[in-house]
Structure 1
Amino acid sequence: MTKIVSPEEALIYVMVSTSAADRTMTDSELMKIGEEVQTLPVFSDFDHERLVTVSRDCSDLLAEGGVDLVLKVVRASLPIKLRETAYALAIEVAAADLQVEQDELQFLLLLRDELELDRLHVGAIEHSARVRYRRI
């Protein structure tokens, strides 16, 4: 039986797993996670004081069963309407330090496959991030 967490916790699991994918959680990625939890409407009912605890729970789950287990928990815990939100949050965290590593790209691929996201929607989410993080 797959562990079930709240939708907010599942979204945090996605962001933490994205940050940890390249085995380096940068300050900019951690700040982005905190910022998203503090500001996005999807987290309005979430107790922000629990962010560190939920992040540790995700890290423990990663250590226990790897990315595959975390992705199964995320899929089981997220309503379908939040799957694209999860991918958008993953993209935001991956782009936070202005360089996306190969391990992060691999995680994003696994995430979109596990969540069965439409390729056109994925492309639109990725394009939106590229435009927002573009440099002059």
Structure 2
Amino acid sequence: MAQPTAHEALIYLMVVMSAADRDMTDAELAIIGETIRNWPVFEGFDDDIIAVARQCQQILQEDDGLERILNAVRDVVPAKLHDTAYAIAVEVAAADRHVEPEEARMLHIVRSRLHLEPLVAAAIERTAQARRRRL
């Protein structure tokens, strides 16, 4: 796998999170599109999102695909944006207002891989929960 750009690595991370429970929901796909269109970290990204997602799926089919993707996220996304990467992962996991056990496990793996402080990760997770609450 050629080293992805930081934008591609973040999209890979969103695809991994969406596929963690083997069910890519419409809500998760909507969050992925919304994130790419609206988050400042994606400014300047104008590649084909579908092509990048397909690349990710191809990599995931390989024996060490998940490891390679997680390592790429850690290595190509600047350390100052690791909390942003985690926030993106949490947004996708929480898109349908319920985090499946597989998604929770994947978030734990991402947290560890990005070496996030527990309080930072907890704050990001709590913010995503608060944003999705209804009366």
- TM-score w.r.t. the length of structure 2 is 0.94
8 Å Cα contact 1:15-1:93 kept in structure 2: yes
| CA displacement, residues 49-85 of structure 1 (integer Å, 9 cap, x when unaligned) | 5111111111111111242221112112111011111
Question: Is the partner of 1:135 in helix, strand or coil?
Answer: coil
CA deviation after TM superposition for structure 1 residue 119, in Å: 0.7
**Over aligned residues, Cα RMSD in angstroms?**
1.2
Match of 1:131 in 2: 130
Q: 4+ residue runs of structure 1 moved beyond 2 angstroms?
A: none
**1:96-135 → structure 2 map (5 Å cutoff):** 96-135=95-134
Q: Which runs of 5+ in 2 are unaligned?
A: none
Q: Equivalents in 2 of 1:28, 1:71: separation in Å?
A: 23
State the partner residue of 1:50. Answer: 48
- State the percentage of identical aligned residues: 47
- The amino acid of 1:110's aligned partner reads I
Shift of 1:135: 2.2
Matched, 1:95 2:94: yes
CA-CA distance at 1:131 after TM superposition: 0.7
Contact 1:4 1:76 in 2 (8 A): no
SS of 2:48's equivalent? helix
Matches within 5 A, 1:1-136: 3-47=2-46, 49-64=47-62, 65-136=64-135
Kindly state the Cα deviation for residue 111 of structure 1 after the two structures are TM-superposed: 0.3
Instruction: State whether residues 21 and 104 of structure 1, in contact with CA within 8 Å, keep that contact through their aligned partners in structure 2.
Output: yes
Whether the aligned pair in 2 keeps the contact of 1:29 and 1:93 (CA below 8 Å) is yes
Matched-pair contact (CA < 8 Å) for 1:14–1:74: yes
Report if the CA contact (8 A) 1:3-1:73 is conserved: no
